Amino acid sequence: MTSDGIDIAGTGDAQEIASGESVAAAQFRPISNPATGERIEFTDVAQDNGEDIVRFKWRSMPGGAITEHVHPHQEERFTIVAGEAHFTVNGEERVVGPGETIVVPVGVRHSESNPGSVEIEGVVELRPALHSKEMHEAFAGLGLEGKTTPRGAPKNPLQLGATLWYFRHESRPTSPPIWVQNLVLPPLSMLAKVFGVHPYYDRWDTRI
């Protein structure tokens, strides 16, 4: 563990995590997020495994990037199987390669990118699970329907308010500042309810 609380595990730990696939993998279809260049397939969710965790196979395409954000109530763990993932954690750049794991503590700002020419493969875990599955499904679904900006935010202000505010316990972008989000998103969320705009739709559910 580094001085700022970011834990990078070695090959032994990473292999143990990466090999721990659940039989539940067949129960979910893969999803892609065109804004971030990610491809996700859930392998464990809290409803099935009795453990308060969501786990998924994760791929990041060349040129893919996840903008800076924080998980206010969750620890996030990336275990890299192939490729090199470039992280910025609390302003510090890190490169995590095959057989390594990086753990981002609760509330720590971070981003990830794939500047290389090959895709990154890994396993991601979020503890506790909260509504992380639905959050990833929502943003991927909106992106595939052409309803997000290049950065992945919903284009429709009402959808923006509904989805970002509903999933505020799972993830918060750091730009604009969270205090600005706390002023703007609640009224948008209320208007979304009036006009029947939902934060999540069943059509995005990946469970087979």
Instruction: List the domains of the chain with CATH numbers.
Output: 7-130 (2.60.120.10), 136-204 (no CATH)
Q: Is the pTM of this model over 0.95?
A: no
Q: What's the pLDDT score for residue 46?
A: 86
- When computed from its CA atoms, the radius of gyration of the chain, rounded to whole angstroms, is 17
Q: What's the pLDDT score for residue 6?
A: 53
Q: What's the pLDDT score for residue 1?
A: 53
Q: What's the pLDDT score for residue 92?
A: 97
**Rounded Cα–Cα distance for residues 189 and 45 (Å):** 27
**Rounded Cα–Cα distance for residues 8 and 92 (Å):** 13
Q: What's the pLDDT score for residue 13?
A: 52
Contact 54, 73 (CB under 8 A): no
- Give the residue among 129, 137, 155 at the shortest CA–CA distance from 44: 129
- List of the chain residues with pLDDT < 50: 3, 11, 16, 19-20, 22-26
Q: What's the pLDDT score for residue 191?
A: 98
